Amino acid sequence: MRILKYLFILSGLPGFLAAQDRPFITLKSGMTIESGAFVNPREYLCHDSIWNTITITGENFTLDFSGATLWGAADTVSPDQYKGLAFIIKDAKNIRINNLRIHRFHTAIYIENSDGIYLNNCDFSYNYRPKLYSYREHEILSDWLSYHNNESQQWKSHGAAIYAKNLKNSTFESLRITGGFNGILLDKSNGNKVFNSAINFNSGVGIGLYRSSNNIIQHNRLDYNVRGVSHNFYRRGQDSAGVLMFEQCNKNTVAYNSITHSGDGIFLWAGQQTMDQGSGGSNENMFYANDCSYAPTNGIEVTFSKNYIIGNKLNKCIHGVWGGYSYGSLIAENQFYDNKVGIAIEHGFNNNLINNSFSNNEKAIRLWKNENTIDVPWNAFNMKNVKQNEVYSVWSNTFESDKIAIELLNGKNFDIQYNIFKKTPQILYTEKVNNCKLTFKQNITDSISEQSLSRSQKRKNTSIPEFISILDEQTKRLIPPKMVGDLMSAFQCIHGMAYLLSS
């Protein structure tokens, strides 16, 4: 045991000795740092004189700022007047930066063309933030954000705690970014990780990705990245978000984060390239076990793309999931409670809504299509994709006390099986589905009536709903409420497993 103890101590010795080799430096305006150092942990009042950005470049070293704090403006300056860039990291590889604090700059750190940067235990709070003009009773339209184009690094001018372009294999850990505009913006940056960080109470986006793939965002607090909300007056969000992914962002993982009260919890858009050419998208991203509740707009918004939304909490939003034009997506094992609409998808196809739990939503699932979509700006996407057979699989979900469980408008092919409906006044509401193939079988309910399976109220008396005839005997059978409760968990489990095995 004693030998093990000595071995353990000796194993830390090389690192300790290497640390002793690092010089002790004091930061100076415009300096370039190319080797490891301990930094004088004082407060640097960068606004007292002209302050030029510090450059960090080179390879294989550690910079320990020991709590050094850079202030870019005096406390009398309003946040929309903060200027300047504190640090630029460029052409760098394997550099570790610890214990740095930067406040009241326009952008704290800009990273370019770098690999293996490790930022640990840093605080980049209270940097630039624009003034908001919306007030209690009214929103002002100029407060709306637009992240749709970053081809010329337009995002850079917005200001952020960290803006990174062409960054790869890097890690941001234990960062604190609050009271600012944007947290971390990644542009054409792949294979990075953001974890254990608190990026909250910012007025733009917590973490934003543009043409960035294979990144992992995990175990962060990304709450209250929001604007455009006034209780009892308006809930707009104005395109703020906890996590934003725009333009060809693929195979990212967003898991185990708390993303509550943000404009959208997660906001994904395929991108202009997809709108123009009809191809590509922001695809195969995994959103797993996040809490995206209390979004003033959408818990998760994913459009024109194919993604996996699994095991998330999506409660008390306007839409739990807004999935306009989503295709081939899997929305499974999520919890939807007290939303205006749990899952809302317009013009989607080949989507699988499996094993979700819905309760107390005004509408649990709403799937629809508008008749005329020729004149929309994304017509290229329509032309390439909407010819496909629009199958929706709605399998093994549980619905409890939702006003309407499933609403279908003007679609083509719906496969609704193995669901459980409990205390649901209207199980199925349909409009303009005369030419659609609707499979509705093996579902269980605690009560059933023609009303609960009615078509549009307007058309109810003019034709008998066709799908009543394809209900099988098991579905039509009345099952006492208690039995439904007992069956619910077993049923879900069996069919959830069956699905996973089959896929």
Partner 1 sequence: MTEWGPYDFRYPHIHLTDIKDSIYTFVVFGPAGSEWNIEQSRGFKSMSLQQGNYQDTLIAFRQLNTAEISINAVHKGSFFFDHTGNFIPANDSFKFTFKRLEPFENWITKCYPFDDHFPTENILQGKVDHLNLVQTYTSNRLHRDWWSLQYEKDGQKQKTNSFISVSQGEVEIEPGNYNLELYLSGRSRVYLNDRIVYDGSESEQSKPFLIPVELLHKNNKIVIVSANKAGIASIHCRLLLR
Query: Which parts of this chain interact with partner 1 (CB under 8 A)?
Result: 75, 77, 79, 103-104, 125-126, 129, 131-134, 136-138, 140-142, 178-179, 181, 200-203, 224-227, 229-232, 261
Q: Least distance to partner 1 from the beta carbon of 231, Å? A: 7
| Closer residue to partner 1 (CB): 372 or 389 | 372
CA-CA distances (angstroms) from residue 321 to 18, 242, 338, 356, 392? 51, 14, 13, 12, 15
Q: Least distance to partner 1 from the beta carbon of 49, Å? A: 21
| Closer residue to partner 1 (CB): 76 or 462 | 76
Residue pair 89/123 in contact (Cβ under 8 Å)? The answer is no
Residues in the chain: 503
| Closer residue to partner 1 (CB): 157 or 449 | 157
| Closer residue to partner 1 (CB): 145 or 438 | 145
Q: Least distance to partner 1 from the beta carbon of 238, Å? A: 11
Q: Least distance to partner 1 from the beta carbon of 40, Å? A: 20
Q: Phi and psi dihedrals of 238, rounded to 5?
A: 50, 35
| Closer residue to partner 1 (CB): 243 or 353 | 243
Q: How far apart are CA 203 and CA 207, in angstroms?
A: 12
DSSP state of 226: -
Q: Least distance to partner 1 from the beta carbon of 140, Å? A: 6
DSSP state of 327: B
Q: Least distance to partner 1 from the beta carbon of 139, Å? A: 8
| Closer residue to partner 1 (CB): 212 or 225 | 225
Task: Please enumerate, as own/partner, the contacts of 38-41 that have beta carbons within 8 Å and a separation of 24 or more.
Answer: 38/64, 38/66, 39/63, 39/64, 39/65, 39/66, 39/68, 39/100, 40/66, 40/68, 41/65, 41/66, 41/67, 41/68, 41/99
| Closer residue to partner 1 (CB): 72 or 271 | 72
Query: What angle is formed at CA 187 by the lines to CA 243 and CA 168, rounded to 5 degrees?
Result: 100
Residue ranges of the alpha helices (H) in 322-464?
A: 379-385
| Closer residue to partner 1 (CB): 41 or 191 | 41
Q: Least distance to partner 1 from the beta carbon of 65, Å? A: 17
Q: Least distance to partner 1 from the beta carbon of 121, Å? A: 17
Q: Characterize the bridge pairing of strands 171-173 and 107-120.
A: parallel
| Closer residue to partner 1 (CB): 134 or 293 | 134
Q: Phi and psi dihedrals of 187, rounded to 5?
A: -115, 120
Q: Least distance to partner 1 from the beta carbon of 151, Å? A: 21
| Closer residue to partner 1 (CB): 49 or 232 | 232
| Closer residue to partner 1 (CB): 168 or 236 | 236
Q: How many CA atoms lie within 13 A of 461 on its CB side?
A: 1
Q: How far apart are CA 250 and CA 459, in angstroms?
A: 44
Residue with tokens 């080949």: 350
Count of CB atoms within 10 A of residue 104's CB? 25
CA-CA distances (angstroms) from residue 68 to 62, 105, 156, 197, 247? 15, 15, 25, 19, 37
CA-CA distances (angstroms) from residue 217 to 269, 356, 432, 456, 494? 17, 23, 42, 43, 31
Q: Least distance to partner 1 from the beta carbon of 239, Å? A: 14
Q: How far apart are CA 497 and CA 502, in angstroms?
A: 8
Q: Least distance to partner 1 from the beta carbon of 345, Å? A: 24
Token pair for 152? 């010329």
